[in-house]
Structure 1
């Protein structure tokens, strides 16, 4: 009898015991005797030049080894030539300590390196900086006229949206605003650089792409073949680890100049001095028939960016693909400000753009007198309107139906302010979620060791998403081994090539490479088992044998078996490496994950306080490798979506050009008391096109649509439409 296969099972995390016992080590937890520590000194103005840097008081302290500035940094080859960064925006990337120019508030201007972290920080407080201050602008609303076309490949307009809008029986033109948000993972960004006797570097960095950091350092510092980057554990990232952050080159500069190992850890306040989700203004116009069938959509967005880079994301495209409409016009512009460049943050673009679209759809439903769920069904599309391609799979109707049934959508009152429980007004809202199911080139290696243990590896990352676990499941399932006999290794730039871990593409990409490597290893094992002329496997092809319970067996005669351990003991170490990338079969299809989110809120009529009381999220994401870790991802996304709707906003003092709430006491995020019991479930979906696993990824889809569902529920409860996130009680009142 075959043993149960692990693929699709809700298994515990294989790295869980290491994390809860403190044995998992993060970037700032690797030590060397005599290691030095760096502390970053940040600018206090938003624009100008550094006239003087008085570093003498710091340098005179015993134990201070170096104060690094633009005046004494080592020569850096890549500072004067473009260099590769897999997640860079268009423009000239920020180069720490490049010259005396100040481009934004919080910019690193110096690095103090000392015998202890405490001494480095104290010494940094003694440095005096004299500025030539220039005029700055950090308010998006004041520079809308200066915005330029974003360097984004938008789908071309189709039909005549303006004419269709003019003639539509039902028309509305709302404007929405979303706030800047910062990632704020629990683990601060840190780099520990071990300087080797031969001048090479071993770098422990908080990153979502060890090979991206490796390429970056090799190019910028002209260190080809001399850098190894390690990141076995990442304490959350949400996109903040896609680009190398500035503590990495600063730590390397100091290590090269001093020929010594150096660690640099950013403070929580300094976590607000690089990428973030940008503030945006969005203007939509929807035209529909009296029955609510869409006749026209226009969606124009303006986002903020830095003056040195143009950050773009897929913000408006969703309005052209999610519903059936013949007349669509999309626009996307950027307004440069004296701020740092924004950065991808969980479901970049979709979190913002789908929020506006799904709120507008709710407004349309109210204007047309149609139930919001029924409106979406009337405008359902089996094609991606932007490309005209059918979806490889789209179980969104099932998400709507099953989610509505579990939530009790039929109990919703159509008229706002109709449901009440004492002082609380009760409202229900819903929204659609969508995210592209991406696949990127990836490689993996599978090795069967002489003790019968399988070791699989790829240079990917695990930011708490469960990568260790699901890759172990994929390999164990393919090789017919119990989970405890399989080890997956990641987070090492010397391993097989892997893309940045983001975009919900890790399982699809690296997982497919793992599957392919295991299939090649199966052939190696069969070849080894056939070496003896008397072998019962002689002459059999791979399709005629199977792998189960740590054994190779003949399918037509399952009693004919050989232990994998016995095969490898005779043949010696067996391994296979494979690469995977999307094939031409995907070209004729559109591939996406979809979801339906249902939310109930309770609003205190007198105080205006808002409480989310119920959430149901139904997700169609193809084959779910591990429903437990996947549901955990969706729950995290829902929590963040509630935070986006009601709490999160990075506030800036535009007079100073500086963030005011750059800490976790004033940057409001949801706490346990803000989050209700939620129901997350996956709708069965078969997809033979998206990748060999049929898996679409779940990291991003969990947050998409949540803020809109919350906002729509608040309108249903109160009759007040707030279009500016976050929805705080002052706006509601």
Structure 2
């Protein structure tokens, strides 16, 4: 890719940003475009022939559509069509055609495919009109009649139907066990046996899901989609509708938050494509805030954890079982219990994981999927064990510290968790913490201090990157990566600028277009280690090419110089031993008579070396809460989060990632849950008025520490790991443990609401399944 794609409006750093180095606190280069409205999102692209689609949502949880009356809707002025399963365009029928790149095993949901209803809120029709207002009004006039079947949406009442997932998605590692966890638990002198529960959470990014399909005269579809991968959306559309990849281009230059909800294409995308194919014109479909609750969510999860220890705190047994919901269509799986086999030294570990099929939409990855729930349960159980032992919770964790992942019997590629504990505890003032609950009070509030460990995978994938140096000195680097607000534009530009020795304002990083070089789906905190390493590799190849050209110049001051002999800086190449012997990059290209030099790099993990190690990021979270027992109100007043995530490339965006994740962790702990009316199988609080998220008044001091770490196993080029997920892991557990320290009341379910503090925790099954 040699030229900028104008429609992407790829941002560059403002003049004066200057030369950068890894670890600097650089402001987002896309920040100005976002706050001024220059940045365009999926629902903001226009075409002269644009029609508007509004989704009609179903109202039953299971059954079949017997009839759809569209006469009133079609009579509304401006309405072009009411599309249903009876009159939609042709779409492929076999499952494989509708599997996106992250699909779990099973049969993917296809909107308007048939008369069958799989869940409440399922799209049953799409009204297409000349104006959005006409489409919205007409959608209220569509009458749908059903033959209703009995449904099941209650996980806790269907635990006896749990089964081991029969089908696994790519990348999922089934839990394994070592030793004899059951026997070791039964023989342990000190034991904890508790159940834990996490309610349903829904993604609520600021930007709602939208797709604008712009149809050219030749039939080519340019789709602006809210997605975490333009190439995944293109794959999905082209395969599902039998189109060639040349007939579809997907773009997502700006994404207003996703947190996992954009990993899979959501149903507005195929509906918008259907509308464009049927009308042979451009179509936009935007979901409402209520419809944002009608697709995947963080699944409801039940746990049972049994820990056994010696009187000195040495862990003798870890036994963690979990059951979570999935849909009837697909076996969605998460890594929930595996973390309990990686956190602490123990020779007898028993892990078990099952799912229950309910009549819901397939759950979906949400920030730190599996770990946000699994580590919460494990870390609350560890706090319970600490109190059984009358031992400081941090001391218990240090007692069982390990540099080897027990379940894998592999050393960690790097692990500075001990330093996280030390620096976090020191910053927080943990040494002043009394052991006994209810021992600190300030006015009418009880004060509690809690802590927890966090862990997440250190992922690296495969990517391709192009780097083009232009004759005017500008560097354009390209990959079909995605920036969901995490700072991808900024970090990739920093890596390229540092590698080539250029000021930031001369570097542009292109992303968000399916025609760009291949990039993985943005998820799992893998973009920096994967795409970033690819950027570094492409720039290294580019440096070699430019240096070779420089050495061939007549009377070159760099004659016979090798790459290790020179440095790139300030737009020039110069000898390290004599900086006066230098050549400007623009001069090199001018002398060679070329407008640009391009190099491409294929980034692949060093698999043979990596397989010898366990690879993870770690954290230590310390939390202070203040509790008004009369009202059941909890305030999280201080959080210190100490992170070990390899080399930090962009200090400002990395700290922002952790702070935002801590906010979400507090929200998960105290506020967020989507409630189901099981009589109707329907989420009831599907709006911002009733789905409670943390607001500014709920958030106080958040202190982020990055401990020094450099991991060349995970990332040979950069030494980095990811930070997007780790910030939320352990936060809810630290809040729960702090509440116990403040009140002496143990809450084992999330969210921990005032009602639970006043009336008791949620009732869990008395006889859990074996």
TM-score (norm 1): 0.99
* Alpha-carbon separation, structure 2, partners of 1:416 and 1:545: 62
Q: Hey, what does 2:744 align to over in structure 1?
A: 719
* CA positional deviation for 1:222: 1.1
Change over 3 Å in CA distance of 1:548–1:81 after alignment to 2: closer
Contact preservation (8 Å) 2:19, 2:498 = no
Asked if 1:579 corresponds to 2:602, the answer is yes
Asked if 1:610 corresponds to 2:616, the answer is no
Point out the more displaced range, 637-646 or 570-579.
570-579
* Alpha-carbon separation, structure 2, partners of 1:196 and 1:77: 23
Contact preservation (8 Å) 2:97, 2:239 = no
* CA positional deviation for 1:34: 2.7
What secondary structure does 1:636 align onto?
Answer: helix
Q: Hey, what does 1:601 align to over in structure 2?
A: 625
Q: Hey, what does 2:458 align to over in structure 1?
A: 437
* CA positional deviation for 1:154: 2.4
Asked if 1:92 corresponds to 2:107, the answer is yes
Matches within 5 A, 1:277-292: 277-292=298-313
* CA positional deviation for 1:390: 0.5
What secondary structure does 2:720 align onto?
Answer: coil
Q: Which of 663, 666, 674 in structure 2 is aligned with 1:650?
A: 674
What secondary structure does 2:611 align onto?
Answer: helix
* Alpha-carbon separation, structure 2, partners of 1:54 and 1:155: 50
Contact preservation (8 Å) 1:78, 1:219 = no
Matches within 5 A, 1:689-700: 689-691=713-715, 692-700=717-725
Q: Hey, what does 2:289 align to over in structure 1?
A: 268
Q: Hey, what does 1:245 align to over in structure 2?
A: 266
Q: Hey, what does 1:112 align to over in structure 2?
A: 127
Deviation string for 1:637-673 (max 9, x for gaps)?
Answer: 0000001110000011101111111001110000011
* CA positional deviation for 1:588: 1.2
Q: Hey, what does 2:766 align to over in structure 1?
A: none
Q: Hey, what does 2:697 align to over in structure 1?
A: 673
Q: Hey, what does 1:705 align to over in structure 2?
A: 730
Contact preservation (8 Å) 2:346, 2:406 = yes
Q: Hey, what does 2:188 align to over in structure 1?
A: 168
* CA positional deviation for 1:77: 2.4
* Alpha-carbon separation, structure 2, partners of 1:84 and 1:67: 26
* Alpha-carbon separation, structure 2, partners of 1:83 and 1:189: 19
Q: Which of 148, 151, 154 in structure 2 is aligned with 1:136?
A: 151
Q: Hey, what does 1:31 align to over in structure 2?
A: 46
Point out the more displaced range, 366-375 or 687-696.
687-696
* CA positional deviation for 1:4: 5.4
* CA positional deviation for 1:608: 1.5
Q: Hey, what does 1:641 align to over in structure 2?
A: 665
* Alpha-carbon separation, structure 2, partners of 1:419 and 1:463: 42
What secondary structure does 2:749 align onto?
Answer: coil
Contact preservation (8 Å) 2:19, 2:503 = no
* Alpha-carbon separation, structure 2, partners of 1:689 and 1:308: 38
Contact preservation (8 Å) 1:6, 1:483 = no
Contact preservation (8 Å) 2:349, 2:407 = no
Q: Which of 485, 491, 494 in structure 2 is aligned with 1:473?
A: 494
Matches within 5 A, 1:128-527: 128-150=143-165, 151=168, 153-224=173-244, 225-527=246-548
* CA positional deviation for 1:677: 1.4
* Alpha-carbon separation, structure 2, partners of 1:48 and 1:129: 12
* Alpha-carbon separation, structure 2, partners of 1:672 and 1:81: 45
Contact preservation (8 Å) 2:467, 2:535 = yes
What secondary structure does 2:750 align onto?
Answer: coil
Moved over 3 A (4+): 78-84
What secondary structure does 2:156 align onto?
Answer: helix
* CA positional deviation for 1:724: 1.2
* CA positional deviation for 1:533: 4.2
* Alpha-carbon separation, structure 2, partners of 1:585 and 1:540: 32
Point out the more displaced range, 224-233 or 76-85.
76-85
* Alpha-carbon separation, structure 2, partners of 1:653 and 1:243: 27
Contact preservation (8 Å) 2:629, 2:757 = no
Deviation string for 1:227-266 (max 9, x for gaps)?
Answer: 1000000000000000000000000011011110000000
The two structures, once aligned, show a CA RMSD in angstroms of: 1.1
* Alpha-carbon separation, structure 1, partners of 2:422 and 2:650: 24
Q: Which of 641, 644, 669 in structure 2 is aligned with 1:620?
A: 644
What secondary structure does 1:193 align onto?
Answer: strand
* CA positional deviation for 1:486: 0.5
Change over 3 Å in CA distance of 1:288–1:81 after alignment to 2: closer
Deviation string for 1:367-407 (max 9, x for gaps)?
Answer: 00110000000000100112111111100000001100100
* Alpha-carbon separation, structure 1, partners of 2:361 and 2:95: 20
Contact preservation (8 Å) 2:20, 2:504 = no
Q: Hey, what does 2:56 align to over in structure 1?
A: 41
What secondary structure does 2:292 align onto?
Answer: helix
* CA positional deviation for 1:556: 2.7
5+ residue gaps, structure 2, are: 1-17, 759-770
* Alpha-carbon separation, structure 2, partners of 1:724 and 1:387: 29
What secondary structure does 1:348 align onto?
Answer: coil
Contact preservation (8 Å) 1:461, 1:467 = yes
* Alpha-carbon separation, structure 2, partners of 1:717 and 1:476: 49
* Alpha-carbon separation, structure 2, partners of 1:546 and 1:284: 56
Change over 3 Å in CA distance of 1:80–1:294 after alignment to 2: closer
Q: How many residues align?
A: 731
* Alpha-carbon separation, structure 2, partners of 1:443 and 1:27: 25
Deviation string for 1:42-74 (max 9, x for gaps)?
Answer: 100000000000011111222111111100111
* Alpha-carbon separation, structure 1, partners of 2:504 and 2:623: 38
Asked if 1:630 corresponds to 2:663, the answer is no
What secondary structure does 1:679 align onto?
Answer: strand
Contact preservation (8 Å) 2:99, 2:108 = no
* CA positional deviation for 1:79: 4.7
Asked if 1:683 corresponds to 2:707, the answer is yes
Deviation string for 1:461-515 (max 9, x for gaps)?
Answer: 0011000000000000000001111011100001010000010000000000000
Contact preservation (8 Å) 1:446, 1:455 = yes
* Alpha-carbon separation, structure 2, partners of 1:191 and 1:6: 38
Point out the more displaced range, 563-572 or 159-168.
563-572
* Alpha-carbon separation, structure 1, partners of 2:408 and 2:746: 33
* Alpha-carbon separation, structure 1, partners of 2:707 and 2:618: 10
* Alpha-carbon separation, structure 2, partners of 1:124 and 1:12: 44
* Alpha-carbon separation, structure 2, partners of 1:227 and 1:79: 21
What secondary structure does 2:418 align onto?
Answer: helix
What secondary structure does 2:732 align onto?
Answer: helix
* CA positional deviation for 1:678: 1.1
What secondary structure does 1:77 align onto?
Answer: coil
Q: Hey, what does 1:729 align to over in structure 2?
A: 754
* Alpha-carbon separation, structure 2, partners of 1:101 and 1:608: 45
